[in-house]
Amino acid sequence: MAPTVRVLILGGTSEARSLAARLSEASDVEVVSSLAGRVRDPRLPEGEVRIGGFGGVAGLRDWLRDNAIRAVLDATHPFAARISSNAAAATTEAGLPFAVLQRPPWSPRSGDSWLEVDSLDAAAAALPELGRRVFLTIGRQGVDRFATVNADFLVRAIDPPEGPTPARMTLLLDRGPFDVGRESALMREHRIDVLVSKNSGGDLTVAKLTAARELGIPVLMVRRPPNPLGVTVFDGVDEAERWLLAVAG
């Protein structure tokens, strides 16, 4: 019997959970999923799970060595730029295979009114020209960037934001998936006139974009940070699974 090979999935996304579930059926692969620990009640994947940071590039490199990891797949949120960069550097130093699994970004469709910006700071600066009743759907991190914007905010996140928040804010704690009818009703109830979102991609929260299109509400969309240079990027779980099984074999 071939020895079991340990692989690390940097997770926290639905794609990471799906991949861990698939690989749990492979008798010769042992999956360790790592979660950042920023969500209070995360959805846990199958198999071994560790929660918390590694201590930068050096800490991750040493952890990979001490835990006999043979390959690393980054399936974190598209905006988790720091861990992606650290993982690329740590695996390079350790001489380990590394790739990224990242769902495709959303693209504007006919009838959409999008303004795309490169950062949350740029989004906050652009808001006064777009609307005064804002549906802020960026999660709990980064809400402080909008603390001084003179507008009424409906903020939706899984956990409450930390740090400064807008003076006029209604907080809605909720987790996707969401449907178009519910999103439309929510925007009408709060008389939303601009939607702010990160370009996370995927199906769990895309309904807000459809609702905004149907209601004629403009969208202020924050572009993704770039992936580390030279890294292989998969946009589907099937490709990522084949890659992990190949490098672990």
The domain locations on the chain are 5-104+226-248, 114-222
CA–CA gap between residue 220 and residue 193 (Å, rounded):
11
pLDDT at position 81 is 86
Instruction: Order across the sheet with 29-35: list the strands.
Output: 48-51, 29-35, 5-10, 69-74, 98-101, 232-234
154 to each of 74, 114, 124, 172, 218, how far by Cα in Å?
A: 32, 19, 14, 7, 15
Q: Considering the domain delimited by 5-104+226-248, tell me its CATH architecture.
A: 3-Layer(aba) Sandwich (3.40)
Q: CA-based angle 102:206:135, to the nearest 5? A: 115
pLDDT at position 206 is 96
Give the distance, in angstroms, between the CA of residue 4 and the centroid of all CA atoms in the same chain. Answer: 30
CATH number among 3.30.750, 3.30.70, 3.40.50, 2.40.50, domain 114-222: 3.40.50
| C-alpha atoms less than 13 angstroms from C-alpha of 232 in its C-beta half-sphere | 13
The reply to whether 5-104+226-248 and 114-222 are identical in fold is: yes
Q: Could you list the pLDDT tens digit for every one of the 249 residues in the chain?
A: 455 889 999 988 889 999 999 988 877 889 999 997 666 667 788 788 998 889 999 999 999 999 999 999 999 989 988 999 999 999 999 999 999 999 999 999 999 999 999 999 999 999 999 999 999 999 998 999 999 999 999 999 999 998 999 999 999 999 889 999 999 999 999 999 999 999 999 888 999 999 999 999 999 999 999 888 789 999 899 999 999 988 876
Query: Considering the entire predicted model, what is its pTM?
Result: 0.86
pLDDT at position 186 is 98
CA–CA gap between residue 156 and residue 171 (Å, rounded):
6
Q: Which two tokens stand for residue 106?
A: 């959303």
Q: Which two tokens stand for residue 170?
A: 């209604």
Instruction: Please give the single-letter amino acid code of residue 64.
Output: L
CA–CA gap between residue 52 and residue 38 (Å, rounded):
8
CA–CA gap between residue 33 and residue 115 (Å, rounded):
36
